[in-house]
Amino acid sequence: MIEGAIRRELPNFVCEPESTNFDYLVKHQIKIPAYNLVRTLVTKVIVHHDALELHLHPTELEKLVQEHLGIVLTCTREEAVINVPYRSERAQDGAVVIKSDAKDIFDLPPKALKKLIQGVIWRDEHFDGMAIKAIARRESYSHDYISSAIFGSFKLLQNTV
């Protein structure tokens, strides 16, 4: 949902839309990993009752396209704001579930989605300095399960659009 909205808006961030590099970006933007795209461009998210308001820093796209596509682009310097509509429902246990009409990574089976979310959380904790063994001990999972969730989150997020 979020990644798709950002990818749809990427062409609007480029200052020279008639260039060949612009055409290359449009055709090959999928080569920019989702994780990098979201973490690099999004500066703030405001949650409304029916939409997510994403604030983005388009100039960061210049670095991403150079790194992942090997091209040089000039992007707008102004902050961009994207509204991503959603609807929410309550799960049986009372949790709020955010639903999108678009197909995306969150359409995974429940067990796979749980492992993905765990992997992303644990990956951030690990990169912030926590040992995998410490995470495993705290969560009462094996070291192998924690590792596979972390590495699986990289693979899954890189292969989604």
- The confidence score (pLDDT) of residue 161 equals 42
The mean pLDDT of 124-142, rounded to a whole number, is 93
Torsion, Cα of 121, 123, 125, 130 (10° steps): 140
Whether the pLDDT of residue 117 is over 90: the answer is no
Whether the pLDDT of residue 106 is over 60: the answer is no
Per-residue confidence band for 90, with pLDDT thresholds at 50, 70 and 90 = confident
Q: What is the mean pLDDT of the chain?
A: 85
**What pLDDT digit, counting tens, does each position of 25-38 carry?**
888 889 999 989 99
Locus of tokens 């899954």: 156
**What pLDDT digit, counting tens, does each position of 135-161 carry?**
999 999 999 999 999 988 877 666 554
Whether the pLDDT of residue 47 is over 60: the answer is yes
- The confidence score (pLDDT) of residue 131 equals 94
pTM summary value = 0.57
**CA–centroid distance for 111 within its chain:** 20
- The confidence score (pLDDT) of residue 64 equals 92
Residues 6+ apart with CB under 8 A from 71: 21, 24, 25, 65
Q: Terminal CA-to-CA distance of the chain, rounded, Å?
A: 9
Q: How many CB atoms lie within 10 A of CB 153?
A: 21
